[in-house]
Amino acid sequence: MSTAQVFGYAIVGLGTQIVEVEATISNGLPQLDLVGISDRRSKQIRAKVRSAIVQSGYKMPDRRIIVNLAPSDIDKEHAGFDLPVALSILLASHQIDRSRFLNIHAIGDLSLTGWIKPAPGQALAVISSQGRGETLVVGDGVNWGALIDTPCLITATTLSDFKSDLRPKVEAAKVSPCSPARTTELIDDIKGQSAAKRALAIAALGRHHLLLSGPPGSGKTMLAKRLIGLLEPLNREQVIELNCIASLQGTNHFRLNLPRPFREVHHSTSAAALIGGGNPPKPGEITKAHHGILFLDELPEFSHQVLNQLRQPMESGTIEIHRAHHHLQYPAQFQLVAAMNPCPCGWLGSARPCSCLGDAISRYQRKVSGPIMDRIDLQVSVPAVKPEHLLEEFKKLPVTEPEGQTEHERLGSTLERARRFRDHRQSLDDRPLPQQLQSEALAFMTDAANRLQLSGRSIQKVVSIGRTIADLGLARHVTPQHLIEALSLRPN
Ligand SMILES: [Zn+2]
């Protein structure tokens, strides 16, 4: 009897769990059995491994082979076990050098001819192996060295590579600052709408959830898309995290200059596609929008069931997915931006007459449940721009600010200054926000909360928006004036 061990990775949420893959070859009828993995997955792996071993010039041992994947009670539905299974068999049958490859870690899909393809979640395995000193073998074609220190990483192209002297390529980690992707959607493209632009700046600085309400053609979608370009550039950890999420979807090219994601979701999207799940489990739209924007156009058209699924991740920034025997967690720190018409016909409050009858308007506005509305920090109305104003604005083109900056650049610098100010302020005082209010602001807030019968959540939100407004004006303390503007951004 001969045994050999290789380690593989189960993908659990946005993390990994090490799986021991042990092959035992003994006398008996030629047969390959996989233990500790679903029948469906076992069948696929057996077919691919057999073919890949033979096609790569090795011999499939004509004895009884059992490969055990332990622990048995974790989800192994992701691909990526082809390579460790094949390597364990080749090691147990002494067809590759045991002194160099025993107890190595591996993740990769195999083609029938023995090509090693990157497996979904491979980035997660590479990240989790960092600093542990384990030798990890992965499929080629990924520029890992560009982002992370990978001294023990071996990349292999085919299974036959293991006959030769396959050694880690020592790549010096080139940890360069992440340059943000240049945005092409500039705030200058939007004429007028100064109130909405102010709300956009507040939303960008405080990462507040935002609802834009206005008639068709008033520029709600354009405004939502321009928010991306106003957000802080991603830091290195966030770039790695987004690459890991992309890796789960099968993208295995590390990208340094990632923009923040903007995911536009249609109201026909199912709850499962929105929050994630399936077999093997995949991240949903809210995870794909992690560190970016989840845009829901025509908010009242979404079903209650779908919208209610957003409540928990909007609070916690993560989503728990419960499956038959275990549950997993994906990150979901998205900024919700929603758009809606003010009434079913769309023209309420605009120059065109509204044709909605009876209680149609209130029924329409009630379609978005209270708990969701309560969680949207800023609710802003975006009026239609009158044609004569629009023409006036166009005459002014090209828009150039006094200092030779575009409106977008000027707002960008204002936000950058405000972020630096906020970071410094937070380093001086890290008490919860309501405790930082000075007597005048506290008295104002108490009075407003009583008069307007604000919920606890609403009070928190108003104070937090007030704080963002103060930061935007580089003000050390929140004043009643800041709170008045914050209250005006939550009309409901
Ligand atoms: Zn109407």
CA of 463 to the centre of ligand 1 (A): 34
Please give the pLDDT value at position 177: 45
CA of 408 to the centre of ligand 1 (A): 34
User: 209 in helix, strand or coil?
Assistant: coil
Cα radius of gyration (the chain): 28
% of residues, the chain, pLDDT over 90: 57
> Are residues 154 and 137 in contact, defined by beta-carbon separation less than 8 angstroms?
yes
CA of 73 to the centre of ligand 1 (A): 56
Instruction: State phi, psi for 263 to the nearest 5 degrees.
Output: -110, 115
CA of 227 to the centre of ligand 1 (A): 28
User: Do the domains at 2-163 and 187-392 have one common CATH topology?
Assistant: no
- Most confidently modeled of 66-80, 356-370, 408-422? 408-422
**Measured between alpha carbons, how far is 189 from 135 in angstroms, rounded to an integer?**
52
Place of tokens 């969680």: 375
CA of 215 to the centre of ligand 1 (A): 9
CA of 363 to the centre of ligand 1 (A): 12
Q: How confident is the model at residue 164 (pLDDT cuts 50, 70, 90)?
A: confident
Residues β-bridged to residue 24:
3, 66
> Are residues 331 and 318 in contact, defined by beta-carbon separation less than 8 angstroms?
yes
CA of 466 to the centre of ligand 1 (A): 33
> Are residues 296 and 210 in contact, defined by beta-carbon separation less than 8 angstroms?
no
Half-sphere exposure of 308 (CA within 13 A, CB side): 5
Per-residue pLDDT tens for 445-468?
999 999 999 999 999 999 999 999
CA of 216 to the centre of ligand 1 (A): 11
Poorest-confidence range of 28-42, 116-130, 352-366, 411-425?
A: 116-130
Place of tokens 């006398």: 27
**Measured between alpha carbons, how far is 263 from 275 in angstroms, rounded to an integer?**
13
- Assess whether pLDDT exceeds 70 at residue 402: no
Per-residue pLDDT tens for 28-78?
999 999 999 999 999 999 999 999 999 999 999 999 999 999 998 888 888
> What is the residue type of 371?
P
CA of 344 to the centre of ligand 1 (A): 5
CA of 312 to the centre of ligand 1 (A): 32
CA of 350 to the centre of ligand 1 (A): 10
User: 11 in helix, strand or coil?
Assistant: strand
- DSSP letter for each residue of 83-150: HHHHHHHHHHTT-S-HHHHTT-EEE-EE-TTSBEEPPTTHHHHHHHHTTTT--EEEES---GGGTS--
Q: How confident is the model at residue 181 (pLDDT cuts 50, 70, 90)?
A: low
**Measured between alpha carbons, how far is 197 from 188 in angstroms, rounded to an integer?**
10
> What is the residue type of 66?
I
Angle formed at CA 88 by CA 85 and CA 94, multiple of 5 degrees: 145
Candidate CATH numbers 3.40.50.720, 3.30.2350.10, 3.30.70.1450, 3.40.50.300; the one for domain 187-392: 3.40.50.300
Question: Which ranges in 161-216 belong to alpha helices (H)?
Answer: 194-206
Please give the pLDDT value at position 172: 42
Place of tokens 């600093």: 131
Residues β-bridged to residue 318:
331
CA of 247 to the centre of ligand 1 (A): 45
Domain ranges of the chain: 2-163, 187-392
CA of 360 to the centre of ligand 1 (A): 8
Token digits for 417?
């200054």
CA of 213 to the centre of ligand 1 (A): 13
CA of 179 to the centre of ligand 1 (A): 45
- Assess whether pLDDT exceeds 60 at residue 397: no
Per-residue pLDDT tens for 205-249?
999 999 999 999 888 999 999 999 999 999 988 988 998 898 888
% of residues, the chain, pLDDT over 70: 89
**2-163: CATH number:** 3.30.230.10
Beta strands 136-139 and 105-107 are parallel
- DSSP letter for each residue of 382-436: -PPPPHHHHHHHHHTPSP--TTS--HHHHHHHHHHHHHHHHHHHHHH--S-HHHH
Please give the pLDDT value at position 281: 82
**Maximum distance among all alpha carbons in the chain?**
89
CA of 366 to the centre of ligand 1 (A): 14
- Assess whether pLDDT exceeds 90 at residue 255: no
Please give the pLDDT value at position 180: 54
CA of 356 to the centre of ligand 1 (A): 4
Q: How confident is the model at residue 183 (pLDDT cuts 50, 70, 90)?
A: low
Contacts of 230 (CB under 8 A, 6+ apart): 187, 200, 201, 204, 411, 412, 415
Greater confidence (483 vs 358) lies with 483
Euclidean distance between the first and the last CA atom of the chain, given in angstroms as a whole number: 74
> Are residues 43 and 7 in contact, defined by beta-carbon separation less than 8 angstroms?
no
CA of 193 to the centre of ligand 1 (A): 21
CA of 154 to the centre of ligand 1 (A): 63
CA of 311 to the centre of ligand 1 (A): 29
**Measured between alpha carbons, how far is 254 from 479 in angstroms, rounded to an integer?**
45
CA of 384 to the centre of ligand 1 (A): 14
Q: How confident is the model at residue 254 (pLDDT cuts 50, 70, 90)?
A: confident
CA of 361 to the centre of ligand 1 (A): 7
Please give the pLDDT value at position 147: 57
Q: How confident is the model at residue 174 (pLDDT cuts 50, 70, 90)?
A: very low
Length of the chain: 492
